[in-house]
């Protein structure tokens, strides 16, 4: 068949795109699409590519799902012959542009996949699994800023439970990014604390957790001690008693080293004699 041929295809011949980063939610947007197709039919053909006698959907997963609900036998489609790289970019662009509401997790995996795919284009050097966002002019390739794209990609390193909290807006973007630097075991300690206490960490707390993790001092007990300090009216300022955390730090780590190295805290005794201060305005009581 010729490239970009318009025809009707049986639903039985259609396959979803592998590693599809978007969710097929039965939300308000889906219900509006259901009403529209029920009344007027599929006005915009789906886009597919031929693979071994079958067709892989590049754009139109929700339209195909609606047609299945309405017990339609076929759907209008544009057949587009393309390789894996072009197919992935078509799938990503069409869904990023057409979907009105995207979850953070959807953008996260879509942006990561887009960066990986762009790196496969001719003339691009091979990159690691996490491509550097700085390689691209994000105003041309992405709707978000370079820094925001970087944050979204970091979300792909979260365990599913934490990523779900982000989608539910229980954890905001910046705290989630800090948590993404923890390993799976430490992230699951955070999940356990949230489940047990119905309290999510602040940005200030996640900064502390990340610093402790990077210095090898983060244990389950330390995680709970840091997260337990959350006050309902504290959002940007957080006070932790050093002696409380010190009991949970191995004896081989001296107090001075813990204070300055393991948390990244710089002494500000000249201004705050009884406190230690770290960048960002967070204070730690001695």
Per-residue pLDDT tens over the stretch 197-217: 999 999 999 999 999 999 999
Domain segments of the chain as ranges: 1-101, 102-155, 158-285
Is 209 within 8 Å of 190 (Cβ atoms)?
A: yes
Taking the model in full, what pTM does it have? 0.71
pLDDT at 122 over 60: yes
Mean pLDDT, to the nearest integer, of 99-126?
Answer: 85
61-65, 93-97, 280-284: segment of lowest average pLDDT: 280-284
**Which pLDDT value is given to residue 248?**
66
**Which pLDDT value is given to residue 141?**
63
Secondary structure of 13-68 in HEC code, one letter for each residue? HEECCCCCCCCCCCCHHHHHHHHHHHHHCCCCCEEEEEECCEEEEEECHHHHHHHH
Mean pLDDT, to the nearest integer, of 273-280?
Answer: 37
pLDDT at 273 over 50: no
Q: How confident is the model at residue 143 (pLDDT cuts 50, 70, 90)?
A: confident
pLDDT at 285 over 50: no
Q: What is the mean pLDDT of the chain?
A: 80
Percentage, residues of the chain above pLDDT 70: 72
Token digits of residue 241: 């008693």
Contacts (Cβ under 8 Å, ≥6 apart) of 60 = 44, 45, 46, 47, 48, 75, 77
pLDDT at 264 over 50: no
Percentage, residues of the chain above pLDDT 90: 60
* Rg of the Cα atoms in the chain: 24
pLDDT at 58 over 70: yes
Mean pLDDT, to the nearest integer, of 2-27?
Answer: 86
Is 162 within 8 Å of 154 (Cβ atoms)?
A: no
85 vs 229, higher pLDDT: 85
Query: What count of other Cβ atoms lies within 10 Å of the Cβ of residue 170?
Result: 14
103 vs 260, higher pLDDT: 103
Mean pLDDT, to the nearest integer, of 121-136?
Answer: 52
59-73, 198-212, 213-227, 259-273: segment of lowest average pLDDT: 259-273
Give the span between the Cα atoms of 48 and 46, in whole angstroms. Answer: 7
23 vs 124, higher pLDDT: 23
Q: How confident is the model at residue 242 (pLDDT cuts 50, 70, 90)?
A: low
Alpha carbon 81 to its chain centroid, in Å, reads 31
pLDDT at 120 over 70: yes
pLDDT at 103 over 90: yes
**Which pLDDT value is given to residue 137?**
43
124-138, 211-225, 260-274: segment of lowest average pLDDT: 260-274
Domain at 1-101, CATH class: alpha beta
**Which pLDDT value is given to residue 249?**
67
pLDDT at 13 over 80: yes
pLDDT at 286 over 60: no
């Amino acid at each position: 068949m010729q490239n970009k041929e318009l025809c009707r295809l049986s639903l039985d011949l259609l396959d979803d795109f592998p590693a599809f980063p978007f969710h097929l939610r039965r939300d308000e947007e889906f219900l509006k699409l259901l009403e529209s197709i029920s009344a007027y039919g599929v006005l915009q053909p789906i886009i597919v590519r031929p693979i071994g006698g079958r067709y892989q959907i590049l754009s139109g997963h929700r339209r195909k799902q609606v047609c299945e609900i309405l017990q339609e036998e076929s759907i209008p489609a544009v057949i587009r012959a393309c390789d894996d790289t072009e197919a992935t970019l078509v799938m990503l662009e069409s869904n990023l542009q057409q979907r009105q509401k995207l979850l953070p997790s959807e953008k996260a995996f879509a942006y990561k996949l887009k960066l990986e795919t762009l790196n496969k284009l001719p003339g691009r050097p091979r990159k690691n699994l996490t491509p550097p966002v700085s390689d691209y002019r994000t105003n041309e390739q992405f709707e978000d800023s370079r820094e925001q794209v970087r944050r979204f990609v970091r979300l792909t390193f979260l365990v599913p439970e934490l990523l779900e909290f982000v989608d539910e807006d229980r954890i905001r973007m910046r705290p989630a990014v800090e948590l993404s630097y923890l390993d799976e075991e430490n992230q699951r300690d955070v999940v356990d604390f949230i489940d047990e206490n119905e309290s999510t960490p602040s940005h200030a707390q996640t900064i502390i957790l990340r610093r402790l993790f990077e210095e090898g001092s983060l244990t389950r007990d330390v995680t709970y001690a840091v997260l337990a300090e959350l006050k309902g009216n504290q959002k940007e300022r957080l006070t932790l008693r050093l002696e409380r955390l010190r009991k949970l730090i191995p004896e081989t780590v001296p107090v001075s080293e813990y204070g300055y190295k393991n948390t990244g805290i710089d002494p500000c005794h000249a201004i705050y004699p009884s406190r230690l201060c770290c960048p960002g305005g967070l204070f730690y009581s001695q």
